[in-house]
Chains A and B, each alone.
Chain A
Amino acid sequence: MSDGALDDLLILDLCHGLAGAYCTKWFADLGANVVMVEPADKGASIRDIGPFKNDEPNQETGASHLYLNGGKKSISLSFENDEGKSLLNKLIAKADILVEDEAPGRLGNLGLGFEDVCTLNDKLIYLSITPFGQTGPYRDYPSTELTLAAFSGTLAVRAVNGKRPIRMGGYQGMYIGGRIAFLSAMGALLQRDVTEEGQHVDVSLLEAIAGNDMAAPTTYSYTGIAQVPLPSANARGRGGAGRYPCKDGFVDVLPGIGGLKKLAAMLGDPGLAEHELFKNHALRAEKAEEFDAEFMEPFFSTRTRAEIVEAAQAKGMPFSYVLTPDELPSEPHLVEREFFVDIEHPIAGKLAVPGSPARLSETPPHLSVAPQAGESNETVLSELLGLTDLSSLENQGVL
């Protein structure tokens, strides 16, 4: 019985940021042995990202850490001194993949760059995740998720009615980066399955984010048009598309292909399809308020999300609820698919977290609890390096 599709891999996770953590979470969920290597004095900086349990800062209870580091091990190992570096090198010699997100060149300055360590392990895949990549004129620019989204071309699109551009909720740019980093490392791994050789993989978060592009730059090279939100894009439902309020919340309305006929039928009068405001897209955009007041609001204001969405879906229109996060754990479809996973953390308590979206029939993903800083020192160092007495390393401040 397999413990996961990637259960043969040892991953050293030197990351501090969300993208790296999401990347290595994929390895952990799929069965790899993922070992976080955290600075002994301060821990990985992802532990400092709130919110925390009861909003009391605690390196063990940050929401991002609890979610993204689930199923990993943690060793606290400072490698800026010779003793620690030598220990890390011994681990690198055994690892399949090393993942790091330091500023370009930083690990190289410590003698731990790809060129330095590939001699210890010629099968090592060394994955570097940085905001702009290891090369190019922006290489050393400071950045955050918001400023990377700005550079990527994908933020400009999320500005409606002349208002300022708004990022997606949460940290989507970092999650995109984590996904692309995982994919890129898997590319190198699948090549290694054949060639038995490792290599350096240089992932730029900017490039990852820019790739979720709705085809817009390519479209410019075909048409000269730089995509911006259409007049129909709105923060509220308008002219038969967008988020409309109803009795118990919001419905995302999207008639879809051939949808205006279906919408007319759903509203109770198929004959409406012949109405000028239904037939003529441009006119409907122009007279959106009139369209909404006459046709949409009477129907929506008297019905619940369930009534509206079921009626629309029965006609093949991709309407949906706008679910708030608190509604998700009890949503019947997710419940039946057993999507949420219950885990119990010794400090944070019982948590229900999203499961893995990759349902592999033979090697189902498995989620588990996030490690406390350094909690795996003994097990990892004894299992991998055969070290039994750690006291001198602890006394020197290495562990």
Chain B
Amino acid sequence: MSKLPLEGVRVLDLTRAYAGTIGTLYLADLGADVIKVEAVTRPDIPTREMNPAELDPGEKPWERAAYFHRLNVGKRDITLDLTTDTGKDLFRKLVPHCDVVTENYNPQTMRRFNLHYDALKELNPSIIMASMSGFGADGPRKSWAAYYPAMESMAGLTAITGYDEDQTLTSLTGYGDWTLGTVGAMAILAALHHRNKTGKGQYIDVSGREAVLAAIGDAMTDLSMNNRVWKPSENLHTSMAPHDTYRCKGDNSWVAMAVRDQQDWIAFCRAIGSPAWTGEAQFSDQEKRHENQEAMRPLIEDWTGQHTHREAADALLAAGVPAGPVLDPSETLFDPQLKAREYYEVIDHPLVGSRLFPRQVPAHYSAMERQPRSHTPLLGEHNHQVLGELLNLDATSLKELEDSGAIGSEPTRKGRRPPETSREKMRQWGARADDDYLEKLSAAYGKKIGPNG
């Protein structure tokens, strides 16, 4: 069995928060040595403090957060302050030892640091630099701030998602960030292959808004070809019906189903016990069902309402009709399919113990064995290792850097505490919150999940 594909590829990673860190997470999963660069004066807050283990910020609140751990697992971490001469100098010295530099600052920032692509190329002619921003490196709106809703809304996705034109929805899952980070990683992999062939590096500019827009190409082509403007259409499908989510037994419980054709319809009717309404003329063919889908809702919910989402989906799937329980994000951890393919990996962190992390590149490879990933790094955890190995700094120099505050392992600027939350409060808001989550997960994964000791 071979090594991982990016073993030997080193990434100097200035990304922060979501989108950029997602991009380098893929590279880490494929075996790259991703060296995350933070600064003790400016650590990766707020993700470093969001949703701490057991909701307890503890003595080092910046080392306990689910969000940060999820997005940075398998990377190494050093602290350099690029606003200082020392920090910049060390960064410049690291560049020749690296293959890729990544960043997701505002487009002006790297220029202000004098660390833009042309400057990096002087230090390492074959460097690949990737900038991942909301709107891209040039253009009149390049400096606009963008969280994921802006990337989606400026790309037309929000305007085609939701209940109607007055009630649109963003992804609520950070889709803009995921898309930007994923496309960033894809472009970097292509550039690495090009470099393998030619020895040449290059600069990559990815805009999250454009990455999302490229994913509604069907809508844009229809616009261009037929002058039709797509609108929010709930869960309607152009041909399938019923095609929607239906209320099941229990709180906030839903099943999704899709009747693709007449054969599915016959199977569907049989699966729900062939109630009389399924024989009505208004539902007799796909076209009529498409037209009268809303009239079917209460009738279908008469059946789904008697079943849990799992029971309803299982009955339909057994009949050959596409269906799926609308799982909440905790239920996926216990899902038999994802379990069977070892989608979630248990990773042990020195401060919070064993927790669960999806494989960011989940593919199963025939000639590559999955490797256990290293825990999400502590702030500055690899200062000595990286600066010692790559720059040959000895213990005395490293200590000097530490004493001067140039590197370190504690933030000098603390984040503002995120609003306190509790499972009780979340339940009042309608969320599911389990007090026995560690026991449940430990039983499901056959090892102790939760704090060590």
Contacts and interface: CB of A to CB of B under 8 A. Distances in A.
Contacts of B237: 144, 146
A149 B215 CA distance: 16
Contacts of A321: 153-154
A154 interface: yes
A8 B366 CA distance: 24
Given A184-B363, A363-B202, A206 B328 contact: no
Interface stretch (B182-190, B283-291, B389-397): B182-190
Contact of B204 (A179, A353, A359): A359
A72 to B, nearest CB: 14
Which 6 pairs between the two chains have the least Cβ-Cβ distance?
A169-B160, A216-B329, A150-B324, A235-B167, A224-B437, A184-B363
A108 interface: no
B198 interface: yes
Contact of A172 (B54, B55, B136, B215): B215
Contact of B51 (A8, A147, A184, A222): A222
15 contacts: A5-B191, A50-B238, A151-B325, A169-B159, A176-B182, A197-B367, A207-B341, A215-B51, A222-B54, A229-B172, A316-B145, A317-B145, A325-B156, A325-B229, A328-B220
B324 A168 contact: no
Contacts of A180: 182, 361-363
A336 B140 contact: yes
A55 B228 CA distance: 11
Contacts of A195: 2
Interface string B201-224: 111111100110111111111111
B35 interface: no
A330 to B, nearest CB: 12
Interface stretch (A58-66, A82-90, A290-298, A389-397): A58-66
A250 B152 CA distance: 13
B220 A354 contact: yes
A16 B352 CA distance: 45
A153 B175 contact: no
B34 interface: no
Contacts of B366: 114, 199-202
Interface in B317-345: 317, 320-333, 335-338, 340-341, 343-344
User: Which of B225, B328, B343, B441 has the largest count of A CB atoms less than 10 A from its CB?
Assistant: B225
Contacts of B419: 281
B244 interface: yes
Contact of A220 (B210, B240, B330): B330
Contact of A171 (B117, B189, B192, B218): B218
Interface residues on B, range: 35 or more
A190 B138 contact: no
Contacts of A326: 223, 229
A94 to B, nearest CB: 18
Given A147-B324, A212-B174, A221 B449 contact: yes
A223 to B, nearest CB: 5
Interface in B340-385: 340-341, 343-344, 352, 355-368
A302 interface: no
A144 B221 contact: no
SS class, residues of chain B in contact with chain A: mixed
B150 A136 contact: no
Interface stretch (B36-44, B82-90, B274-282, B427-435): B427-435
A176 B186 CA distance: 12
B5 interface: yes
B186 A228 contact: no
A91 interface: no
B335 A151 contact: yes
Contact of B355 (A206, A222, A256, A361): A222
Instruction: Give the size category of A's interface with B.
Output: 35 or more
Given A30-B190, A168-B161, A351 B224 contact: yes
B337 A144 contact: no
Nearest to B229: A326
Contacts of B134: 318
B122 interface: no
A211 B139 contact: no
A216 B435 CA distance: 16
Contacts of A171: 218
B303 interface: no
Contacts of A359: 136-137, 187, 204-206
A9 to B, nearest CB: 9
Contacts of B223: 325-326, 329
Contacts of B53: 222-223
Residue among A6, A53, A61, A333 with the highest chain B CB neighbour number at 10 A? A333
A332 B140 contact: yes
Nearest to B421: A225
Contacts of A184: 361, 363, 365
Given A156-B328, A226-B330, A336-B139, A55 B226 contact: yes
Given A146-B237, A183-B189, A169 B341 contact: no
Contacts of A183: 26, 182, 185-186, 189, 361
B171 interface: yes
Interface string B113-148: 000010000000000000000111111111111110
B216 A220 contact: no
B445 to A, nearest CB: 9
B150 A254 contact: yes
Interface in A64-114: 64, 66-68, 114
B329 A320 contact: no
A147 B229 contact: no
Nearest to A282: B419
Interface string B255-276: 1111010000000000000000
A353 B172 CA distance: 27
A170 B150 contact: no
Contacts of A385: none
Contacts of B163: 163, 166, 235
A151 B260 contact: no
Given A2-B198, A190-B5, A235 B363 contact: no
B444 to A, nearest CB: 11
